[in-house]
Amino acid sequence: MGVNATTLRKILELEREKGYLDGAVIGGLDSYLARWDSAVKDSELLAISYSSLDIDQRRDWIEQVLPWLDEMDSREQKAPAPALNMNEFLDLPIINIKGISFNLAAKFRRLGVSTVRDMLYFFPRRHIDYSKRKTIAQLEIGEEQTVVATVWQAREALLGGRRSTEAIVGDETGNMRVVWFNQPYLAKQLRTNSKLALSGKVSLYKGVKVFQSPEYEPLTEELIHTGRLVPLYPLTRGLSPRQVRRLVKETVDFWAPQLVDFLPEEVSVRARLLGLSEAIKQAHYPQNEQLKDGARKRLAFDELFLIQLGVLSRRRDWREGGEARPIKPERQVLERFLSSLPFALTQAQKRALEEILADLDKVRPMSRLLQGEVGSGKTVVATAALLTTVANGYQGAFMAPTEILAEQHFSNISQLFAEAGEEKGAEGNVRTFSGLLPRPIKVALLIGSIKKNEKRELQRAIWEGEVDMVLGTHALIQEEVEFQRLGLAIVDEQHRFGVMQRSALRQKGTNPHLLVMTATPIPRSLALTLYGDLDLSVIDELPPGRQVVVTSWLDPDYREPAYQFLRREVEAGRQAFIICPLIEESEAIEAKAATREYERLSEEVFPDLRLGLVHGRLKTGEKEGVMRRFRAGELDILVATPVVEVGIDVPNATVMLIEGADRFGLAQLHQFRGRVGRGQQQSYCILVAEAPSAEGRERLSVLERTHDGFLLAEEDLRLRGPGEFFGTRQSGLPDLKMAKLSDLRLLELARTEAIRLFKQDPELSRPQHQLLSWEVARLWQGGVGGAEA
Ligand code: ADP
Ligand code: MG
């Protein structure tokens, strides 16, 4: 009766909503109840005639029935669901899988496969379609196809000087030759007169059809290498495709049927999804294309659904963890500030500011993402929000990922305030401004590099409430900084700021409103998934008159002229960036390569210019020291590994030269490009790529033509997929194996279902959601924006 109880609950809730007019179900409640199965009907509680009750009686009756239904429900669900995780076996190491030795296990570990779960979810990169069965006579040149034939003869042969195997096979339509290069041992394995399935491409040799190194297997077993959709798995040294296929097949056959599905049945039914065991099976060894797609859909749905559930609960934790202090708009203060600016806000800035102001005025803490390209004017909007906060008598904090960025914000905000009002004094890292509010306001910079006692003094002032606004790094919330009355916390650069920090923020004793800012243009579909716990404001318009950074993609042959160009810019008093190639293996290797490049450039190419180097292996202080000198104009050229991506502002820099440009994603290249063109001078972005792939070339030429960050992000997502798009390291997104974030329909479906489920059981505490709740926890543990990047 599970379904009935749920349905009845819904009907009764609807009835209550509609005012007890017996309109919730067609034909009336009485006739609905009459159709119920006997066990429930026998209950006295349901033995009534709803239609003959008056409104008050109806209300009372429904208020009695609802809790009773809940109890029935939970009593029912408890019985079949033991409190132990029925899928616990999934966490067993793969050594428990039949046929996997320690030796093999070590090889699989290199592929990221350590547990039974990993193995079941170790999906093929793709499938080859060998399902087309042909006779020998029907075989066509160049197509992937399969024949079943009898081995007439198999022998070792020297082919092109290499020991190989040659066989003659035949069926009722004819005979043909098959060769396997470099595999002499096969000659002994292929027994004469046995039946063999062969899959692969057929070529023509001296006018005769020949199978060259086809997949093969005896017809006695279930086919896994031939005659079907055959999976192609990622490999590592010492693991052959055949071996991996066989081991995965055995794992799937034995373990997949034991999986207990964690998706609530009503979700599977509504979303038309395959069961979990079936989906896993079909993902590896699909019966046909439809089932393969079905498997992909189910498994992709799982990923998106679990992410959504996690995001929803994060959002709820934030919003319901306590009340925030409403912050009133204070229009006059705002007007005065805005009219003091040397420019008018763009429409997009106005819209974003209004959205923020509306949130601030609520007791529910804001959690909003402000997204806008580099230079779109986020800082001004953030400053207006901070000023509003201070006008309400609260404190504001503004956190940046690095000290130099915090300094930059400090000096930008100070400048804005100095223009809007008057700077009354600077004491160490605290500046006082008057003319903005009836009272003076104090803005402070709190970073690690200031002196100990100065820092202690600042912390005291913050705690006592003497300071109104604090700029700093994320360390602001990690160190012993306590605010007297923090009203708004702004965090710059989302993906370095995770859940942990957010809860640390909360532990600062208050429930501040939270505004997260990012310059990474995130396509809407991705934003919904990744930042679904945040409301979204987008500044999708650049201030008028922004220069377009001239972008061109050069062949390495043109590096010399590019250097000359760069030199001319430097001679004209400007500065340049040179970005070294992305090396994914390790930061250490990347740093080494960058050091070599730096030495080459400073000794051979620009011996007379002032060069600086930053890479990820430098200590924070060293790195910031170099960047600071560059910003101060003490260096002409900054050579950098991709770490400089995070926004430093050097208006005098006009050239951005990117080596190995094809290795970067569009979004990232666009970020780099945003480092120049920030001043008055025409600026340039030069992309150098050694030998880009077709897809790489496409990306580079898109970048030459397009200057809109959002378009580029969409394009990037399309070309490379989400993992690459963000680089899983910093995305904070659980690894997606099946889901494509460009699949909007599935994303919406998962989101709708997650919201629906979340409404029923936000903590996933019902027994029937136990497995699901484990899955959510598992997916979100570790990676998800938790650890500091
Ligand atoms: P972001 O933080 O989004 O990268 P900023 O807020 O630092 O962008 O703005 C970049 C530059 O543009 C700053 O010099 C700022 O003063 C200026 N700016 C901001 N908004 C406008 C506007 N509406 N019109 C003209 N210039 C603007
Ligand atoms: Mg900025």
Distance 343 CA to ligand 1 centre (A): 9
pLDDT tens-place string over residues 389-404: 999 999 999 998 878 7
Is residue 788 very low, low, confident or very high in pLDDT (cuts 50, 70, 90)?
very low
Average pLDDT over residues 330-356: 95
> Residue 735: is its pLDDT beyond 70?
no
Looking at the CA of 651, name the nearest ligand: 1
Per the CB < 8 A criterion, the answer to whether 153 and 171 are in contact is: no
Q: In ligand 1, which atom is closest to the CA atom of 380?
A: 6
pLDDT tens-place string over residues 110-133: 998 999 999 999 999 889 888 888
Q: In ligand 1, which atom is closest to the CA atom of 545?
A: 25
Residue 727, phi then psi, degrees to nearest 5: 75, 110
Mean pLDDT of the chain: 85
Between 213 and 507, residue with greater pLDDT:
213
Short-list 27, 66, 65, 30, CA closest to 51: 30
Distance 314 CA to ligand 2 centre (A): 26
Average pLDDT over residues 588-602: 91
- Looking from the CA of 476 toward its CB, the CA atoms found within 13 Å total 32
Atom 23 in ligand 1: residue holding the nearest Cα: 345
Q: Which tokens in the block code for residue 425?
A: 């004094």
Distance 657 CA to ligand 1 centre (A): 24
Distance 374 CA to ligand 1 centre (A): 9
CB burial of 115-150 (b: ≥16 within 10 Å; e: otherwise) equals bbbbbbbbbbeebbbbbeebebeebeeeebbbbbbb
Looking at the CA of 345, name the nearest ligand: 1
Per the CB < 8 A criterion, the answer to whether 83 and 16 are in contact is: no
Per the CB < 8 A criterion, the answer to whether 497 and 341 are in contact is: no
Amino acid 671: pLDDT: 83
Distance 576 CA to ligand 2 centre (A): 19
Average pLDDT over residues 354-373: 93
Atom 15 in ligand 1: residue holding the nearest Cα: 377
Distance 388 CA to ligand 1 centre (A): 19
Atom 18 in ligand 1: residue holding the nearest Cα: 377
DSSP code of residue 447: -
Average pLDDT over residues 20-30: 81
Judged by DSSP in three states, 34 sits in helix
Distance 46 CA to ligand 2 centre (A): 64
Q: In ligand 1, which atom is closest to the CA atom of 341?
A: 16
Dihedral angle over CA of 74, 79, 84, 86, nearest 10: -110
Q: Report CA-CA distances (Å) from 322 to 319, 398, 490, 541, 760.
A: 7, 21, 18, 35, 22
Short-list 704, 692, 689, CA closest to 557: 689
Distance 708 CA to ligand 2 centre (A): 17
Pocket test residue of 369, 379, 416 for ligand 1, highest count of atoms within 8 A of CB: 379
pLDDT tens-place string over residues 449-467: 788 888 889 999 999 999 9
Q: In ligand 1, which atom is closest to the CA atom of 539?
A: 3
Short-list 194, 201, 182, CA closest to 141: 201
Its pTM stands at 0.65
Per the CB < 8 A criterion, the answer to whether 268 and 212 are in contact is: no
Between 48 and 387, residue with greater pLDDT:
387
Average pLDDT over residues 610-621: 86
pLDDT tens-place string over residues 657-700: 999 998 888 878 888 898 898 888 999 999 999 888 888 888 89
Is residue 27 very low, low, confident or very high in pLDDT (cuts 50, 70, 90)?
confident
- Opening angle at CA 196, ends 194 and 199, nearest 5: 170
Amino acid 131: pLDDT: 87
d(CA 190, CA 187): 6
How much of the chain exceeds pLDDT 70, in percent?
89
pLDDT tens-place string over residues 263-306: 999 999 999 999 999 999 999 999 999 999 999 999 999 998 99
pLDDT tens-place string over residues 272-282: 999 999 999 99
Residue 113, phi then psi, degrees to nearest 5: -110, 110
Long-range contact set of residues 59-62: C-beta below 8 Å, sequence gap at least 24? 59/16, 59/20, 62/12, 62/15, 62/16, 62/20
Look at 150-164, 195-209, 472-486 and tell me which has the smallest mean pLDDT: 472-486
Distance 657 CA to ligand 2 centre (A): 21
Q: In ligand 1, which atom is closest to the CA atom of 346?
A: 23
Amino acid 33: pLDDT: 78
Q: Which tokens in the block code for residue 516?
A: 């997260």
Pocket test residue of 373, 380, 539 for ligand 1, highest count of atoms within 8 A of CB: 380
Distance 543 CA to ligand 1 centre (A): 7
Atom 24 in ligand 1: residue holding the nearest Cα: 543
Atom 9 in ligand 1: residue holding the nearest Cα: 377
Looking at the CA of 648, name the nearest ligand: 2
Q: Which tokens in the block code for residue 78?
A: 């408890």
Is residue 475 very low, low, confident or very high in pLDDT (cuts 50, 70, 90)?
confident
pLDDT tens-place string over residues 46-98: 777 888 888 888 988 888 888 887 777 666 555 444 445 677 788 889 988 88
Sequence-distant (6+) residues with CB within 8 A of 199 are 128, 130, 144, 145, 146, 214, 215, 216, 225, 226, 227, 230
How much of the chain exceeds pLDDT 90, in percent?
45
Strand duo 208-212 + 195-205: pairing = antiparallel
Amino acid 82: pLDDT: 44
Is residue 42 very low, low, confident or very high in pLDDT (cuts 50, 70, 90)?
low
Distance 414 CA to ligand 1 centre (A): 14
Look at 71-75, 509-513, 568-572, 582-586 and tell me which has the smallest mean pLDDT: 71-75
As for ligand 1, residues whose beta carbon falls within 6 Å of it are 343, 345-346, 349, 372, 374-380, 519, 543
d(CA 669, CA 685): 10
The DSSP string of 307-352 is: HHHHHHHHHHHHHHSSPPPP----HHHHHHHHHHSSSPPPHHHHHH
DSSP code of residue 448: T
Look at 375-379, 456-460, 543-547 and tell me which has the smallest mean pLDDT: 543-547
Strand duo 684-688 + 550-554: pairing = parallel
pLDDT tens-place string over residues 89-99: 888 899 888 88
Q: In ligand 1, which atom is closest to the CA atom of 416?
A: 16
> Residue 779: is its pLDDT beyond 80?
no
Atom 20 in ligand 1: residue holding the nearest Cα: 377
Pocket test residue of 337, 339, 341, 343 for ligand 1, highest count of atoms within 8 A of CB: 343
DSSP code of residue 437: S
Look at 162-176, 247-261, 523-537, 606-620 and tell me which has the smallest mean pLDDT: 523-537
The angle, 0 to 180 degrees and rounded to 10, between the axes of the packed helices 289-320 and 744-760 is 50
Strand duo 422-427 + 430-434: pairing = antiparallel
Q: In ligand 1, which atom is closest to the CA atom of 377?
A: 6
Amino acid 327: pLDDT: 96
> Residue 723: is its pLDDT beyond 60?
no
Distance 526 CA to ligand 2 centre (A): 22
Distance 496 CA to ligand 1 centre (A): 22
